């Protein structure tokens, strides 16, 4: 199943399914960004809007995009704020956002499904204002090394969604190429798996 189709299929139950990775991602995003206030936020891969409602509280405007119409439909049902707009977008093609138009770009649990990190980081650098921030949260590569992938169930059938393994240095190298300075790198554990390898890794970069 194609990645886009898989997420559209998953959208019907995404919010209700037991999903520790989704829940931890929301915690990581809030803890990292809750003290900030931003003029314009671009959210890449907003899904069903699990982080969009929070971003609407810390941003004057939020532009939330996703390539799954099913996910976007769910997000639009939940998030009804005047400062939030939604759009379908393919992140692997040039983004329809002007240079220097965002002071925060947020990307959660998306880049595991995109092979070319260099293109993503180049577009992030292009749309960010000087001093703008890029918050990125992904499934930890340690989990990927063991074969973990985003997945959902329909009855007795489990659908795994195609993914690319990105090492920690792949993210930092892509950022270096665009002169995005690393401000923080954190590993995250859900309270139910604190004795295991990290579940998520997050980065906060800043445009010089």
Q: What percent of the chain has pLDDT over 90?
A: 84
- Report, as an integer, the average pLDDT of 52-66: 98
The pLDDT value given to residue 173: 98
| For residue 1, pLDDT beyond 70 | no
| For residue 186, pLDDT beyond 70 | yes
| For residue 97, pLDDT beyond 80 | yes
What whole-number distance in Å separates Cα of residue 112 and Cα of residue 75?
Answer: 21
Q: Does domain 3-207 have CATH number 3.40.50.150?
A: yes
| For residue 133, pLDDT beyond 90 | yes
Tell me the pTM: 0.94
In this prediction, residue 27 has a pLDDT band, given cuts at 50, 70 and 90, of very high
- Report, as an integer, the average pLDDT of 168-186: 98
Q: Where are the domains of the chain?
A: 3-207
């Amino acid at each position: 199943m194609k990645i886009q189709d898989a997420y559209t299929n998953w959208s019907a139950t995404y919010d209700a399914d037991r999903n520790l990775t989704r829940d931890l991602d929301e915690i990581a995003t809030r803890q990292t960004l809750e003290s900030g206030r931003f003029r314009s936020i671009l959210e890449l891969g907003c899904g069903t809007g699990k982080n969009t409602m929070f971003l609407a509280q810390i941003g004057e405007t939020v532009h939330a995009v996703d390539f799954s119409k099913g996910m976007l439909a769910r997000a639009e049902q939940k998030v009804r704020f005047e400062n939030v707009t939604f759009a379908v977008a393919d992140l692997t093609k040039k983004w329809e956002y002007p240079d220097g138009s965002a002071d925060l770009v947020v990307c959660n649990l998306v880049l595991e499904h995109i092979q070319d990190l260099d293109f993503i980081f180049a577009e992030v650098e292009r749309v960010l204002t000087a001093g703008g921030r890029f918050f990125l949260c992904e499934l930890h590569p340690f989990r990927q090394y063991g074969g973990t992938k985003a997945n959902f169930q329909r009855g007795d059938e489990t659908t795994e969604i195609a993914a690319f393994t990105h090492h920690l240095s792949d993210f930092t190298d892509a950022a270096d190429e665009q002169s995005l300075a690393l401000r923080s790198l954190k590993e995250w554990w859900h309270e139910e798996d604190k004795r295991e390898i990290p579940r998520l890794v997050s980065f906060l970069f800043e445009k010089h």
